[in-house]
Each structure stands twice: as structure tokens, then as C-alpha cells.
Amino acid sequence: MQPNKPLSRSLSNKTPKRSILAFTLVELMVVVAIIGILMIVALPAYNNYSLKSKFSEVVLATAPTKTAISTCAVSGDCVSGGSIALSTTTGGGPPTVPQLLTQLAATPNTSQTPINRNPALLYAMIYQSQIILGHTPADANTYASSYATSVAAGSPSPYIVEASPSTPGDYCWATTNSSSCTGFSVTPAQIQASMTADTNPFYSYVGGSSTTTMANLPCVGGSGCSPATKYAASVSYDATGIITATAQTTSGLKAETFVLAPALSGGRVDWSASGTCKTRAGGALC
């Protein structure tokens, strides 16, 4: 009869061996690194794709205005001189210098009327008088601008322009409390020389009676427009038919623009696109 085996040995022989399966730390670190690399590569592309989707609404928002301009141009209702013209100007436009001087000659001396304290006329008169006195053009410009700027801002003028009482046909500048001129006169030709857009920094104050009316096209985006848009802030157009759609400044958008410029040829309108949406940092949106 064989002796009994030790109990501990007997139990160890009956217990099955199991292999333990697990990831090592190195393997986990490799997986995390791969996921990180994928996120770094894919996230900017995803963000750009998301912004492109949002900006597509801005592009689509130009469709009503684009269609209206094309229809109007093809029909000939918005064409002038072979080009698209969405504005109509009525009235005589800015008055000519002879017209201004004729009005000036009819105004009472020493009175503060809009015509004899017109900033453009006042600048031209004082500038030319300073040149007559021998000052340099730069000094004459500084001196004349100081008075014209004050008048343009709405301040009472210490000087006015009036018809010369001593030299018929000429003009002079005088203090508002005296009907006497400053001692010399300026001819209409001299005034004319300083009454152009290139020579007179106050030329915009010449004024005029012209009125410009823009064609009434669909309103998209912005206040009072329907339907409302989520990502398009506004869609505007100018007199030549150039359409500018501007994005909102939310949801990752930064007021990028989408610009469409029309070209009328052969009875059809072709459009070319531009705008900051094509040059946006991080990738074009249109």
C-alpha cells in the first residue's frame, strides 16, 4: 500500500493554471498618443468644415438680391451706358461757382446767411487773399482752414464773403459787423481756382439739390428684413450692383464678407465672387 501524498501537493496539482491578459503601460501610452495626434490633425479640419457650413447661409442669403439685379439688368430697367445702374439721380446737382457767386451778390452785406458763410467759399476767399498778400500756399491753407473749419462746425463766423462794394464784379471778405471789405478784392477767376474738389478741402460744403434714389431690392438680414437669418448679419448692394453679404460675429464667425460683382455682357449677367471669406486665416469659408 502506497503512502498518501501530501495534501498541499495534491491540491496544487488539481488547480488549473490561468494566464492573465492586460495592456501594458507602454501600450496605453501609444494608444493615447495616437488619439492625440488624430485630434490635432482632425480638429482644425472639422472646425473649418463647421464654419463653412454656417457661412453657406451667408452665401445663400445673396440669392434674392442677385436674382433681382440680374432680372432688372437683363430687362434693361437697371442699365445705363451699357453698365448696371441701380440708382437714379434727380435735380441739378451741386451749383456751379458762377451760380454761387450770383447768389452771393444778391445777399445783404454783413448778414450771416448760409451762402456768404459757406465754408467752401470762405476758404477760397481767405486763401486767395492770403496769396495776394504774399503768404505761402501752406500758410494760406492753414489760415483759411482755421476759419472754414470753425464755420463748418456750426460756430458763428467772424468773417463773411460778399460782393465788393468798391470793385464791381469782384468779391471780398469782411467782418460781420461792418460793410467794409478788408482792403482788397478777389476776382471770380481767383475764387474758381480754389473752388474745386482738388484744391478746396471744404468742397463737400458747396451743396446741391440733387437727390439719389436706389432701386428697391429684397431686404436680407439686418433690422426689418424678412425672413430673419441666423448667420448672415446683412446683405447690401451699391449703385453698380456689387452685393456684399456680411456674416455675424457669433458661432466662430467674425464678420467675414462674401462679395459678388456683376458683369453685364451680351444680355446676360455674370458674377465673380470675392471677399474676406476667401482669405480667412485658417482656411477659406467660401
- Is residue 84 a part of any domain in this protein? yes
Q: For helices 119-132 and 137-152, what crossing angle results, to 10°?
A: 150
What are 63's three cell numbers? Answer: 440669392
Q: Is a pLDDT exceeding 90 seen at residue 212?
A: no
DSSP 186-246: B-HHHHHHT-STTT-TTGGGG----EEEE-----EESTT-SS--SSEEEEEE-TT--EEEE
Query: How many domains would you assign to the chain?
Result: 2
- Residue 258 contacts residue 62 (beta carbons within 8 Å): yes
What average pLDDT score do residues 5-9 get?
51
Looking at the structure, tell me whether residues 220 and 117 fall in a common domain.
no
The boundaries of the domain holding residue 144 are 97-208
- Is residue 168 a part of any domain in this protein? yes
In whole angstroms, give the CA distance from residue 222 to residue 68. 18
Q: Is a pLDDT exceeding 60 seen at residue 52?
A: yes
What are 120's three cell numbers? Answer: 467752401
Looking at the structure, tell me whether residues 132 and 200 fall in a common domain.
yes
DSSP 75-137: HTTTEETTEE--EEEES--SPPHHHHHHHHHTSPTT---TTTT-HHHHHHHHHHHHHHTT--H
- Is residue 121 a part of any domain in this protein? yes
Give the pLDDT band of residue 141 (cuts 50, 70, 90): very high
Give the pLDDT band of residue 11 (cuts 50, 70, 90): very low
What average pLDDT score do residues 50-72 get?
89
Looking at the structure, tell me whether residues 151 and 233 fall in a common domain.
no
Give the pLDDT band of residue 89 (cuts 50, 70, 90): low
Give the pLDDT band of residue 139 (cuts 50, 70, 90): very high
What average pLDDT score do residues 94-119 get?
75
- Is residue 30 a part of any domain in this protein? no
What average pLDDT score do residues 153-170 get?
80
Give the pLDDT band of residue 208 (cuts 50, 70, 90): low
> Is 61 or 19 the better-scoring residue by pLDDT?
61
Q: What's the distance, CA 29 to chain centroid? A: 53
Q: Which of 191, 208, 225 finishes a domain?
A: 208
Q: Is a pLDDT exceeding 60 seen at residue 68?
A: yes
Give the pLDDT band of residue 211 (cuts 50, 70, 90): low
Q: CA–CA distance from 51 to each of 10, 231, 248, 256, 257 (Å)?
A: 72, 10, 12, 11, 13
- Residue 262 contacts residue 271 (beta carbons within 8 Å): yes
- Residue 135 contacts residue 110 (beta carbons within 8 Å): no
Q: Which of 152, 187, 208 finishes a domain?
A: 208
- Is residue 67 a part of any domain in this protein? yes
Q: What pLDDT is recorded for position 269?
A: 93
Q: Is a pLDDT exceeding 50 seen at residue 39?
A: yes
- Is residue 130 a part of any domain in this protein? yes
In whole angstroms, give the CA distance from residue 252 to residue 138. 50
In whole angstroms, give the CA distance from residue 68 to residue 246. 19
